[in-house]
Homo-oligomer: A and B are copies of this chain.
């Protein structure tokens, strides 16, 4: 039970406590934690000696705090729960609570490298059927390793940032032409944020996942399908993705998701040793995609074939180092049913099967459209916690 008004029973009670970075009254960015509809100013709390984190909470991004490691993350979280539940602390803590509506949320961490995986069997299968009809939906390597690639870290933006429709080369019957993308899409994903780095040459084992990963964000990996289709052979997606990738303003610490781990789908054929995780656990995150306010899909993250621990082990098996702020996303989350897909490419089957939206027939994104991705997870004792939403609105091309 917290003394913060309205927080108990909400999806942002003291079992959640996601971290973010905000500005208030035009002042310098600072770290905060969300409780109910308030943000607790952690820079202020550390300055007042209420919580100790080696000064890391006084920084303008989460990076230094995320670099401290799990024992410190746990200690700070326990202390925050104490401050927010014990009435004895109320008098000193309450002045540091700001109404959420009064703050502006910023990108919570400096992104080091951004990797995007492709770990939903249903998504990869759907894409295979749409682009390679009549052939096996999955390529031969897909069940052997979590396919991934590097994206552009510099264009990761915080939820709420408007997204300019990208221009580029699109294929056409008389060769490529230059112009705005006509097939602008979303990809609903879950991102994992690395706190503790690893040195070059030292792979991170599947069992060490929780020592390195600080928390989780929701991700919308905006995708221009026409640009992507023309450019991606043979080196993969580039400009079709690099114009913007939106992440939630709140980073949900892994510790808030303790009740959300569930057995992941059985893998057949068996994976090679470095990918074997026992127990083999995914996360029961229930995503929802709203397109101009209408809920069009509910992607179930628990159906992902490759787990975040496997993705991290794969990412580093060649000796690649990790840096604080590395972000790796799951790839589009799609369940087995049409109402569970994480992209409009799949929802409209390559644009061939439009959906009804606001009384209109629609396929890809129109200028002015807003897409919001939300998610919930099981919390302790049958409660539900919310992940921070990721939202964005499409602006017409310049």
Within 8 A of B (CB), among A218-255: 224, 227, 230-240, 242-244
Q: Are A153 and B237 in contact (CB under 8 A)?
A: no
> Given known contacts A155-B200, A236-B237, is B320 in contact with A150 (CB within 8 Å)?
no
> Given known contacts A118-B235, A235-B148, A272-B178, is B322 in contact with A154 (CB within 8 Å)?
yes
> Given known contacts A154-B326, A326-B154, is B235 in contact with A236 (CB within 8 Å)?
yes
Question: How far apart are A156's CB and chain B's nearest CB, in angstroms?
Answer: 10
Within 8 A of B (CB), among A191-235: 200-203, 224, 227, 230-235
Q: Are A236 and B239 in contact (CB under 8 A)?
A: no
Q: Is the CB of A318 closer than 8 A to any CB of chain B?
A: yes
Which of A76-84, A164-172, A297-305, A378-386 lies on the face that meets chain B? A164-172
Neighbouring B residues of A314 by C-beta, 8 Å: 239
Question: How far apart are A200's CB and chain B's nearest CB, in angstroms?
Answer: 6
Question: How far apart are A12's CB and chain B's nearest CB, in angstroms?
Answer: 30
Q: How far is the CA of A148 from the CA of B169 in the complex (A)?
A: 14
Q: Are A242 and B320 in contact (CB under 8 A)?
A: yes
Q: Is the CB of A28 closer than 8 A to any CB of chain B?
A: no
Q: Are B168 and A317 in contact (CB under 8 A)?
A: yes
Neighbouring B residues of A322 by C-beta, 8 Å: 154
Q: Is the CB of A104 closer than 8 A to any CB of chain B?
A: no
Q: Are A144 and B175 in contact (CB under 8 A)?
A: yes
Q: How far is the CA of A236 from the CA of B273 in the complex (A)?
A: 24
Q: How far is the CA of A321 from the CA of B157 in the complex (A)?
A: 11
Q: Is the CB of A280 closer than 8 A to any CB of chain B?
A: no
B147, B153, B320: which contacts A243 (Cβ < 8 A)?
Answer: B320
Cβ contacts A367-398/B at 8 Å (1 or 0 each): 00000000000000000000000000000001
Q: Is the CB of A177 closer than 8 A to any CB of chain B?
A: yes
Q: How far is the CA of A152 from the CA of B114 in the complex (A)?
A: 8
Neighbouring B residues of A112 by C-beta, 8 Å: 153-154
Q: Is the CB of A349 closer than 8 A to any CB of chain B?
A: no
Q: Is the CB of A290 closer than 8 A to any CB of chain B?
A: no
A–B complex contacts, Cβ < 8 Å, 19 sampled: A112-B153, A115-B238, A150-B150, A150-B152, A152-B320, A154-B321, A164-B201, A167-B317, A176-B272, A178-B317, A227-B318, A232-B236, A236-B236, A239-B314, A240-B318, A242-B318, A242-B320, A243-B319, A319-B398
Closest 10 CB pairs of A and B: A236-B236, A166-B318, A150-B150, A149-B235, A239-B318, A243-B318, A235-B236, A164-B201, A178-B272, A242-B320
Additional pairs, 16, CB under 8 Å, beyond known A144-B176, A147-B235, A148-B235: A113-B153, A139-B234, A141-B231, A144-B175, A145-B230, A147-B231, A149-B150, A155-B320, A164-B201, A167-B317, A167-B318, A169-B272, A175-B269, A232-B236, A239-B317, A243-B319
